[in-house]
Structure 1
Amino acid sequence: MSKYQAAQEYLEWLKQAKEAMRKEQAQLPYEQKVAIVLQLKKIACEAAKVREQLKRRSGKSKG
């Protein structure tokens, strides 16, 4: 498996994890919701980094 494929799979996993956390969050008390929102922010930052890496790699292969 190439690094590009691994990054794509990781990004997909991050999306699934984020959605699962959102569903869980709907049933929790406020304090726990805040903690989850902070975790979601970390996941979003990580996903943004992976997307940027994918863009750079796909740009290099085209150019």
Structure 2
Amino acid sequence: MGDDMVVRLPRTPGAAGDVEKEHRRLPRLAPVLPVSVPHPFMAGTARRVLGRLLLDGD
């Protein structure tokens, strides 16, 4: 998504809940980790519209 954004797309349905956990935990962990951690700003669910996969909010 560019130099200032990353995308996290779970590959299996069971991993979808991990995104919610990351959104809660990453901002609290970031200050104490020795590496740069991106700030989560959006989470959504995937859906198909006219054969195209979109995230909620598109």
Q: TM-score, normalised by structure 1?
A: 0.33
Q: Which has the higher strand share?
A: 2
Q: TM-score, normalised by structure 2?
A: 0.35
Bigger Rg, structure 1 or 2: 1
Q: Which has the higher helix share?
A: 1
